[in-house]
Amino acid sequence: MNKKQLKEFLDIKAIQYNTVDFIDTDPIQIPHQFSKKEDIEISAYLTATIAWGNRKSIINNASKMMALFGNTPHDYILHASTKNLEDLNSFVHRTFNGEDLKQFVLSLRNIYTKHHGLEGLFAKNADDNSLQRSIHEFKKIFFEIDHLPRTTKHVSDPLKNSAAKRINMFLRWMVRKDTTGVDFGIWSSLNPSQLSCPLDVHTGNIARKLKLLKRKQNDGKALYELDKALRNFDPVDPVKYDFALFGLGAFEGF
């Protein structure tokens, strides 16, 4: 396929998979259970944090996490007592355990009480065509309070050559507003043009098969390469192609 044909192919696939039916099979269904902005963004961030491995397991464990919060994540983040936090000890998703979850609650509390919430923090350090520096600065603020060293591995840093797949996916959910009701688009201070594609095994493999990506590792350098290719197709909404690449890999075995 030439560039024009490839764009047309990916546009069709993006439309095919960017539908409300996608929600039923994706971790994004967790924040879709909420209507309050802060509940949506907190549940989305925590769900994205554990979004690696089996998708069914991710969804089940994210649901357990919300149940531990009494299904009121924002209220829990702000007001959970020391005793409440001890109830989180039972949580585990792969290498993310109850101690990590307690640390995340306290870090999020600091962000909402001292830094005006998640949206303002990411918007503060945004570049015109990238949020990767925002993610780097976010991690510094996230761990500015006393924290467990082990927990820092659960927040990626693009400036240390991480693809930061899970945070980029979270940002897609918050910033990109589509017409089908999948992505929320509740962060008006940022634009879809600033987003980066969540680079995982599916999107990476398909991007390589389509010659959008030459680098073999799914790291920060590969993300930059893929971003550049996708922005050439659509500079306004480049990460709509996440649906196309993921769908081709996860559902079609392309």
Structure tokens at 7: 């764009």
| Distance separating alpha carbons of residues 112 and 37, to the nearest angstrom | 13
- Write down the pLDDT at residue 1: 85
Would you say 220 and 177 are in contact if contact means Cβ atoms under 8 Å apart?
A: no
Structure-token match 């925002």, residue found: 134
Half-sphere exposure for 13 (CA within 13 Å, toward CB): 22
**pLDDT on residue 121:** 96
d(CA 4, CA 233): 9
Determine the pLDDT at residue 254: 83
- From residue 9, give the alpha-carbon distance in Å to each of 13, 15, 189, 212, 214: 6, 10, 31, 13, 20
pLDDT one-digit tens code per residue, 106-156: 999 999 999 999 999 999 999 999 999 999 999 999 999 999 999 999 999
How many domains are contained in the chain?
1
Beta-strand relationship, 96-97 and 92-93? antiparallel
Q: pLDDT truncated to tens, each residue of the chain (254 aa)? A: 899 999 999 999 999 999 999 999 999 999 999 999 999 999 999 999 999 999 999 999 999 999 999 999 999 999 999 999 999 999 999 999 999 999 999 999 999 999 999 999 999 999 999 999 999 999 999 999 999 999 999 999 999 999 999 999 999 999 999 989 999 999 999 999 999 999 999 999 999 999 999 999 999 999 999 999 999 999 999 999 999 999 999 999 88
Domain with 57, as residue range(s), is 3-250
**pTM to 2 decimals?**
0.97
